[in-house]
Amino acid sequence: MREIETKQVAETVAQLCMDANYELPDDVVAALEKARENEVSDVGKAVFDEIFENMKIAKEERLPMCQDCGSAVLMIELGQDVHLIGGDFYEAVNEGVKKGYQDGYLRKSMTYDPVLTRANTKDNTPAIIHVDIVPGEKVKILFCPKGGGCENMSAIKMMSAGDGMEGVKKFVVDFVRNASGNPCPPTVIGIGIGGTFDKCAYLAKKAVLRSPLGSHHPDERYAQVEKELLEEINSLGIGPMGFGGRTTALGVHIETHPAHVAMMPVALNMNCHVARQKTAII
């Protein structure tokens, strides 16, 4: 049993909020560099120049890479031998988000009510918090500032088993085609297959946040589908920002879960080229 003060959780989250908004993970930078080399469209190349110049300015001056500093999404793995002390865990996470967004000059985008008042909570809380209990005595915190533009380009379809893998692929490719430049391509495509309605959407989010970017599903058959979908999506010609080109997606990740005999849900979640996330372990 290891004791961890929730105050330490709050401090860690605050730091993650700032760092994730100023600097991209190395694997995302590497994927963008590779995509830039392959791009043939002039206007697409110009977009890549802007992307890399932006990264440099944001890192040097500690400015948010994107003005949309996102919904605060946290995927937390809580070791079952950890004893959290000194206050409510969820409150501590939200305290961290509040501090990070305030001190880091990040945009606060959350509203109290989704339909009626739309008044801003002014501190970007409440965060979207997912917790998994895992073996061990550590707390692993992944923070993702998830932009509204790409999150809006999400979909779920309760498909039938009879639709097969061809149906899954068609659903994904058609959706990406229609989304065009809206999700700020080149994007990361996360696909959840199986489970229930809620589980499937969660799998899509897990998929979009898979690290390193471009790594594959452990089942070779799904890994093959990831490769085929990436190729098909990059053949659409949408290109950086939708201006035309070879790079529409940086990677396609599929997460799967067993499904009910009558069901085959498929969910799709995208991340923009500013595919921000940062992890800390306490």
Binding interface with other proteins (CB under 8 A) = 40-43, 45-47, 50-51, 53-54, 57-58, 61-69, 105-107, 109, 120, 147, 149, 152, 180-182, 184, 235-239, 241-246, 272-274
Q: Which is nearer to other proteins, 69 or 92 (CB)?
A: 69
Beta strands 128-134 and 155-159, pairing class: unpaired
Smallest separation, CB 230 to other proteins (Å) = 14
Cα 197 to Cα 195: distance, rounded to the nearest angstrom: 7
Smallest separation, CB 109 to other proteins (Å) = 8
Q: Is 238 exposed, middle or buried (0-12, 13-18, 19+ CB in 10 A)?
A: buried
In the numeric block, which tokens belong to residue 118?
Answer: 């739309």
Q: Which is nearer to other proteins, 4 or 31 (CB)?
A: 31
Cβ-based neighbours of 183, under 8 Å, separated by 6 or more: 149, 150, 152, 153, 270, 271, 272
Cα 185 to Cα 111: distance, rounded to the nearest angstrom: 27
Q: How many CA atoms lie within 13 A of 152 on its CB side?
A: 12
Give residue 136's identity as a one-letter amino acid code.
Answer: G
Q: Which is nearer to other proteins, 6 or 109 (CB)?
A: 109
Smallest separation, CB 74 to other proteins (Å) = 20
Q: Which is nearer to other proteins, 43 or 281 (CB)?
A: 43
Q: Which is nearer to other proteins, 100 or 265 (CB)?
A: 100
Smallest separation, CB 128 to other proteins (Å) = 20
Beta bridge partners of 67: none
Smallest separation, CB 50 to other proteins (Å) = 5
Cα 209 to Cα 257: distance, rounded to the nearest angstrom: 17
